[in-house]
Amino acid sequence: MMLNEHQRKVIEATEENILCIAPPGSGKTRVLVERAAHLIENKKVSPFELLLLTFTRKAAGEMRERLVERIGNNAHNITIGTFHAVALGLIQRFGEFIGLRPGRITVYGDWETNYLLKEIAIEMGVYKKAWKPKKKDVDKAFNDYYNSGIAPEKEDPAYKIFKVFAAKSLPQDSAKTTP
């Protein structure tokens, strides 16, 4: 396989972690595949110890296909996926250690999230023409809480939604409010 000097340096680097950034079509997937093969074949690294991350499902599938072609069935023992898919898999697997219930975790897109927020706000009686809950509003309420420890003001439209979810997910005395 023809590799340029920079690609060969990445493949043969002795560091445990490598960040490979390059423009489209420059051979990143090839380099990652060759690095994984090099580690398994020459450095005797177990495929179970490798993690290959990418931004798209298509790129993850392409990596997997190329690895199977290059090293055979050992490729199936390497964790390969998008950042989001791998993170979700870890949360599903180990979520109970951070207070989540495995198997009960769902990821919603923007449309589903905003639809559910609207339904919750209607059910709670806080949905008004002046305030239609948006994910960003509720996210801001929670982010502000996690950064400062202070819950949203009672006048904040997201307050009631925050209080309901905070009561279910946060320790009992942790939802401090400002005077």
Locate all alpha helices (DSSP H) within 43-106, ordered by sequence: 57-71, 83-94
What pTM value is reported for the model?
0.63
Using CA atoms, how far apart are residues 9 and 138, in angstroms rounded to an integer?
A: 46
- pLDDT, residue 179, reads 41
Q: Which CATH superfamily is domain 5-98 in?
A: P-loop containing nucleotide triphosphate hydrolases (3.40.50.300)
Write out pLDDT tens, residues 98-124.
888 877 788 888 888 888 888 888 887
- pLDDT, residue 169, reads 58
Question: In 3D, which of 22, 24, 42, 46 has the Cα closest to residue 34?
Answer: 42
Report helix, strand or coil for 52: strand
Contact 47, 78 (CB under 8 A): yes
Write out pLDDT tens, residues 127-161.
776 667 777 877 888 888 888 888 788 777 777 77
Q: 152 to each of 27, 136, 171, how far by Cα in Å?
A: 48, 14, 17
Using CA atoms, how far apart are residues 121 and 157, in angstroms rounded to an integer?
A: 10
Question: In 3D, which of 25, 27, 21, 24 has the Cα closest to residue 7?
Answer: 27
Numbered ranges of CATH 3.40.50.300 in the chain = 5-98
